[in-house]
Amino acid sequence: MSSIFSRLRFVLVETSHPGNIGAAARAIKTMGFDDLVLVRPRFADALAREEAIAFASGALDVLEKARVVDTLEQALEGIQYAAALSARLREYSPPVHTPRQFAESVAGQDGLRAALVLGSERYGLSNESVLQCQALVNIPANPDYSSLNLAQAVQLLAYECRMAEAGGAGGAGSEGAPAGAGRIGFLGDPASAGQIEGMYAHLEQALVQLGYLDPTNPKKLMPRLRRLFTRTSLETEEVNILRGIAGHIISACKK
C-alpha cells in the first residue's frame, strides 16, 4: 500500500512572500512530505531568495526539489483529486470538507494522487481555481477572525494528513470521502484533474452546438455541472464515456 507521504502534493498559487514559501517547505518536511509546486509566485527566483532559504531552516532539500509552473493545470498534472483551501465558502464550490475529513479520505484510498491548493496571502484563491478542484477544505476557525498565515495553514493540513496515515483512518464509509468511494463493487482508476478539465471543455462545446448553452449568456450552467460532477469522484472510463457522448452530440449537430 502506498503511503500518503508519496501521494500528496502541496500547491501554492501566486505566493507573495518568499519567507512563506520557505516556512511552508519546513512545515511539510516536518510532517514527512516533500512535494511542493509553486504557481506564478510574485518573484521568479522565489525558491532561491534569502528569505525562503532562511525560513526553510533545514528543509532546503524540499526547496531544491520544488517546481515553479505557470498555471494551476500544470501544477495538477498527474493529480486525481485536488482540494482547494479557502476560508470563504463559494456559491458553486465543490463539496466542503474539514482538514480531518480530507486527510482521512486521501489516506484511506491507496494509490490516489492528491493535491492541496492554497492561494496568495492577500487574495486567497480565485473562483476559477476553486472550480478546478474536486473539494474545498475549510478550517473551522474563529468566525470573528479566521485568517491564518499561509505556512500555518500548510502545517495544520500536513499534520492532519500525517495523523490520518498513522492512524489508518479513512477508507470505506469515512466521513468526507468522495461520493461512492468504497461502497460499490468495482472501483476504476480515478480520473486526473487534466482529464476532467478536458471533459468539461468538451461538454461545454457540445452544449453550445446543441443550442442548450448560449456562450454569450452562459449564466451558471457550467459551474452547476461542475458542482454536480465533483460529487461523483469520476473515474477515467466515466470521463471517456461522457466525452464520447459529447463527441456524438457535436457530430450530430453538424449534419
Q: CA-CA distance, 52 to 121, in Å (whole number)?
A: 15
Give domain 4-167's CATH number out of 3.30.70.20, 2.30.30.40, 3.40.1280.10, 2.60.40.680.
Answer: 3.40.1280.10
135-137 β-sheet, strand order: 67-69, 36-39, 8-13, 114-118, 81-85, 135-137, 96-97
User: Could you give the CA distance from residue 253 to residue 249 in angstroms, rounded to a whole number?
Assistant: 6
Instruction: Identify the helix (H) or strand (E) that includes residue 36.
Output: strand 36-39
For the chain, give the number of residues.
Answer: 255
User: What is the model's pLDDT at position 187?
Assistant: 66
pTM of the complete model: 0.74
Name the residue type at position 145: Y
Q: What is the pLDDT of residue 1?
A: 66
Contacts of 116 (CB under 8 A, 6+ apart): 8, 9, 10, 11, 82, 83, 85, 102, 137, 154, 157
- Which pLDDT value is given to residue 89? 80
**Angstrom distance (rounded) from CA 229 to CA 155:** 30
pLDDT tens for each residue of the chain, 255 residues long:
689 999 999 999 999 999 999 999 999 999 999 999 999 999 999 999 999 999 999 999 999 999 999 999 999 999 999 999 988 887 777 889 999 999 999 999 989 999 999 999 988 999 999 999 999 999 998 888 878 899 999 999 999 999 999 886 444 334 444 444 444 455 678 888 889 899 999 999 989 899 999 888 878 888 888 888 888 778 889 889 999 999 999 999 887
Q: What is the CATH number of domain 193-254?
A: 1.10.8.590
Q: Quick one: pLDDT at residue 229?
A: 87
DSSP one-letter string for 119-148: -BTTTB--HHHHHTSSEEE-----TT----
Centre a 10 Å sphere on the Cβ of residue 63 and count the other Cβ atoms it contains. 23
Q: In CATH terms, are 4-167 and 193-254 the same topology?
A: no
| pLDDT attached to residue 176 | 40
3-state helix, strand, coil in the chain (%, to 5): 45, 15, 40
Q: What is residue 16's predicted lDDT score, i.e. its pLDDT?
A: 94
The one-letter amino acid code at 125 reads L
Domain residue spans of the chain:
4-167, 193-254
What per-residue confidence (pLDDT) applies to 186?
59
Q: Angle 28-29-31 (CA atoms, 0-180°, nearest 5)?
A: 70
